[in-house]
């Protein structure tokens, strides 16, 4: 039966590829492909689960495909099936199937009809990879695709300001979760000395032995996993992104943020539970996060005026309780809770537009103010805090992004041409040291690799904060990637040239394509600064599409060989190289944010031209 698992990955991918070949006006064909794909997946999955259950419900695991293999590293696709997979796969497929049918009529004659169904099929493919994944690498492939499809659906109405702004907020937090998961993978490689599968994590004796021998490293891995799960499931203090993400069509809000995508954090905790079930501190941390989130989200949901925001925080509160259930070991209850919450929130969001129709009958002012007292002052304070969503947006801005923006703005010296030329010369010196490392003293080698990693981080932070010429920003981002590569390769004698080629092969193609799009855009529009949202996608959709592809390839999305190169590169950072890991992590955190910010400011938002309808900034 293990051989059949690949069917549930390949079918959504095939449906996505076929849907690309139809024009937007062929609505019946596009919707038909999506509905047929999900219908076949649902029927096949139902028969598979029945057959699997009748044969004893044994865990299935198969090593499917090897991307890269050398002496110490093997990157491969591993598929896994157990009761958790069965529940998440069936619920996800059924909800996606129903939403696809609903969307066929809901988005009829919408200019983005094809774009929506393309993205929906890509999301379904990503979700299937995550649910059927048998190791962290396979899960991370789906995790990355899920993040970018979320961004694309939030900015579905890409000629408006708020969807684009909230899309950038969401993808920024998603990137933070990505980096946490990358760090967990990195330390896991050093802890297990292999690409550990989830099947091996079910071996309690093996896991207990490793945790006892390497308790510090195991704790680091688990904290990173908990942070990644908390962000993905919008737990406190990261809850505010979920209602902001509901800027897309109601159907995408239903499937993404009401039902499936928001529960991926719960799935991650369930899948890794054998790893941390014996560690009391991690269980207490997960329970605390879940309880605080449930209380705060319930208070916020009760005072919000928007029905979508109420549903979003209601779902967040229930997911918080699921965190508690997982930590307590009540997994059967957590799976039932997930299924019920997913179906309920999907239904609520799909009917949410009709709520206004019902509420129109309740237009009379009926509020009666109460007498003030000590208790009322306390409740009123909680009320105001809940109205402001407990200032979670301000917390994230002030503590996550603002310090790095401040650093980036202070690095004006990096904008001077002489400094940029100096950076090229410094890089060439570093390249010479790498090619002739036998001539370089070991002490100098250890200093140089940190210097190059630090320069890479400064370049990224400057590009993140810079608002002038986009071409200069693009050059800085490219330079930072090559500095990162050099900083890691310089200290590692085992770094193979094939690994370097894998990493830069995707970078070079993406860099050239991005430069071409920016050059053409500047030749036509004369202005490619980043001071505002210009909405050039309306007049130059082809350049917008190819620049987006170059951005996604540049940050190492799984369709680019750079994705494998990033995994190999992190594998060569030793677990005691804390400074190198810190500089590299900060760089990777802001690379994706910087390039997608460039794409959003140039091609998305209200157009500056007056030759077509323009949406209000508040719409």
pLDDT for 510 beyond 60 = yes
| pLDDT per position as a tens digit, 224-240 | 999 999 999 999 888 88
- The verdict on whether omega for the bond into residue 237 sits within 30 degrees of 0, i.e. cis, is yes
Cβ-based burial of 93 (10 A; exposed 0-12, middle 13-18, buried ≥19): buried
Q: Which of 287, 321, 356 is the last residue of a domain?
A: 356
Q: Is residue 551 part of a domain?
A: yes
The pTM of the full predicted model, rounded to 2 decimals, is: 0.91
Which of 7-16, 173-182, 231-240, 556-565 is predicted least confidently? 556-565
Domain-located, residue 497: yes
Q: Cα–Cα distance between 609 and 118 in angstroms, integer?
A: 29
Whether residues 166 and 269 fall in one domain: yes
> What is the predicted pLDDT for the residue at 463?
87
318 and 210, same domain (yes or no): yes
State yes or no: pLDDT of 412 exceeds 80: no
The reported pLDDT for the residue numbered 97 is 94
Give the pLDDT confidence score for residue 440 in this predicted structure: 67
Final residue belonging to a domain, choices 335, 356, 377: 356
Read off the pLDDT of each residue in 18-22 and give the average, rounded to a whole number: 91
Q: Domain check: are 201 and 313 in the same one?
A: yes
**Mean pLDDT, residues 187-202 taken together:** 83
Could you give the CA distance from residue 58 to residue 516 in angstroms, rounded to a whole number? 53
* 130 plus 220 within the same structural domain: yes
Tens-digit pLDDT profile for residues 253-291 = 888 877 888 999 999 999 999 888 888 999 999 999 999
**pLDDT score for 208:** 82
For residue 610, tell me if it sits in a domain.
Answer: no
Are 338 and 437 within one domain?
no
Residue 372 lies in a domain: no
What is the model's pLDDT at position 291? 95
The pLDDT of 447-474, averaged and rounded, is 86
| Residue 414 and residue 458 in contact, taking contact as beta carbons nearer than 8 Å | yes
Asked if 352 and 430 sit in the same domain, the reply is no
Q: Would residue 386 count as lying in a domain?
A: no
Residue 619, pLDDT > 60, answer no
Residues β-bridged to residue 65? 77
What are the residue ranges of helices labelled H in 496-577? 497-525, 541-554, 562-571
The closest of 122, 165, 164 to 147, measured between CA atoms, is 122
Q: Describe the crossing of helices 161-192 and 215-232 by its angle, rounded to 10 degrees.
A: 160
Same domain, 470 and 594: yes
* 3-class SS of residue 72: coil
Check whether residue 135 and residue 262 sit in a common domain.
yes
Phi, psi dihedral angles at 362 (to 5 degrees)? -120, 65
Q: Quick one: average pLDDT of 202-209?
A: 81
CA trace torsion 540, 544, 547, 551 (10° rounding): 160
Q: Measuring CA to CA, which residue among 311, 106, 176, 125 is closest to residue 589? A: 176
Percent of the chain with pLDDT over 90: 31
Residues 414 and 352 grouped into a single domain: no
pLDDT at 616 over 60: yes
Q: Which pLDDT does position 48 carry in this prediction?
A: 92
* SS3 (DSSP) at 23: coil
Spatial separation of the C-alpha atoms in residues 416 and 422, rounded to whole Å = 10
Better-predicted residue by pLDDT, 215 or 180: 180
* pLDDT exceeds cutoff 70 at 396: yes
Question: Is residue 411's pLDDT more than 90?
Answer: no
350 within a domain of the structure (yes/no): yes
State how many domains the chain has: 2
Show the domain range for 333. 2-356
pLDDT at 496: 66
Q: Taking 70 as the threshold, does the pLDDT of residue 217 lie above it?
A: yes
Supply the pLDDT for residue 598: 92
110 is a domain residue: yes
CB 176 within 8 A of CB 400: yes
My answer on whether 310 and 437 are in the same domain is no
Same-domain pairing of 18 and 160: yes
Quick one: 15 and 148 in the same domain? yes
If we measure between CA atoms, which residue out of 280, 278, 286, 281 comes closest to residue 326? 286
Contact 3, 62 (CB under 8 A): yes
Q: How far is CA 406 from CA 213, 399, 401, 451, in A?
A: 41, 11, 9, 21
Q: If you average pLDDT over residues 462-466, what whole number do you get?
A: 86
Phi, psi for residue 605 in degrees, rounded to 5: 90, 175
State the chain's mean pLDDT as an integer.
85
Task: Report which secondary-structure segment, H or E, holds 196.
Answer: none
**Which of 338, 356, 374 is the last residue before a domain boundary?**
356
- The conformational region for residue 84 under phi > 0 = left, psi -120 to 50 = alpha, else beta, is alpha
Question: pLDDT category, 213, cuts 50, 70, 90?
Answer: confident
> 445: pLDDT confidence band, cut at 50, 70 and 90?
low
**49-53, 55-59, 506-510 — which one is most confidently predicted on average?**
49-53
Residue 399 lies in a domain: no
């Amino acid at each position: 039966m293990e051989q059949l698992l690949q069917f549930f990955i390949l079918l959504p991918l095939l449906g996505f590829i076929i849907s690309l070949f139809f024009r937007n006006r062929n609505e019946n064909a596009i919707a038909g492909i999506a509905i047929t794909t999900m219908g076949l997946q649902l029927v096949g999955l139902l028969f598979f689960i029945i057959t699997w259950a009748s044969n004893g419900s044994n865990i299935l695991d198969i090593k499917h495909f090897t991307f890269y293999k050398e002496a110490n590293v093997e990157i491969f696709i591993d598929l896994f099936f157990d009761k958790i997979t069965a529940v998440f796969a069936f619920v996800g497929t059924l909800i996606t199937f129903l939403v696809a049918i609903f969307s066929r009529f809901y988005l009829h004659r919408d200019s983005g009809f094809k774009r929506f169904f393309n993205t929906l099929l890509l999301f379904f493919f990503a979700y299937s990879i995550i649910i059927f994944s048998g190791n962290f690498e396979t899960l991370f492939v789906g995790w990355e695709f899920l993040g970018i499809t979320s961004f694309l659906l939030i900015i579905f109405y890409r000629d408006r300001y708020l969807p684009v702004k909230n899309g950038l907020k969401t993808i920024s937090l998603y990137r933070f979760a990505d980096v946490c998961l990358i760090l967990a993978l990195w330390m896991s490689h050093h802890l297990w000395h292999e690409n550990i599968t989830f099947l091996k994590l079910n071996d309690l004796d093996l896991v207990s032995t490793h945790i006892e021998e390497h308790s510090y490293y195991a704790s680091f891995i688990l904290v990173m996993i908990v942070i990644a799960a908390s962000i993905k499931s919008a737990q406190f203090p990261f809850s505010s992104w979920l209602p902001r993400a509901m800027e897309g069509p109601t159907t995408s809000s239903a499937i993404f943020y009401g039902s499936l995508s928001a529960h991926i954090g719960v799935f991650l905790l369930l899948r890794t539970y054998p790893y941390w079930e014996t560690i009391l501190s991690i269980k207490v941390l997960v329970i605390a996060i879940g309880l605080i989130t449930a209380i705060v989200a319930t208070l916020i949901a009760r005072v919000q005026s928007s029905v979508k925001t109420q549903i979003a925080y209601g779902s967040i509160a229930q997911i918080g309780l699921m965190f508690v259930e997982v930590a307590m070991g009540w997994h059967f209850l957590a799976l039932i809770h997930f299924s019920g919450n997913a179906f309920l929130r999907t239904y609520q969001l799909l009917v949410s537009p009709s709520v206004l129709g019902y509420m129109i009958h309740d237009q009379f002012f009926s509020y009666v103010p109460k007498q003030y007292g000590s208790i009322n002052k306390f409740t009123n304070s909680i009320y105001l805090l809940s109205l402001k969503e407990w200032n979670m947006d301000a917390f994230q801005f002030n503590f996550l992004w603002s310090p790095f923006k401040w650093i980036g703005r202070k690095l004006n010296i990096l904008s001077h041409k002489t400094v940029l030329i100096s950076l090229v010369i410094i890089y060439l010196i570093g390249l010479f040291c790498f090619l002739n490392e036998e001539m370089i003293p070991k002490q100098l080698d250890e200093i140089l690799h940190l210097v190059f990693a630090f320069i890479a981080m400064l370049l990224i932070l400057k590009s993140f904060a810079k608002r002038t010429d986009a071409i200069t920003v693009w050059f800085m981002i490219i330079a930072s990637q090559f500095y990162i590569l050099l900083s890691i390769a310089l200290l590692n004698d085992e770094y193979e040239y094939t690994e370097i080629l894998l990493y830069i092969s995707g970078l070079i193609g993406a860099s050239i394509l991005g430069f071409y799009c920016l050059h053409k855009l500047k030749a036509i529009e004369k202005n490619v600064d980043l001071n505002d949202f210009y909405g050039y996608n309306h007049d130059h959709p082809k350049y917008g599409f190819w620049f987006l592809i170059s951005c996604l390839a540049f940050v190492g999305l799984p369709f680019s060989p750079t994705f494998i190169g990033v995994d190999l590169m992190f594998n060569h950072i030793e677990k005691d190289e804390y400074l190198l890991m810190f500089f590299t992590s900060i760089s990777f955190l802001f690379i994706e944010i910087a390039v997608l910010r460039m794409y959003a400011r140039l091609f998305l938002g209200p157009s500056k031209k007056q030759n077509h309808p323009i949406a209000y900034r508040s719409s």
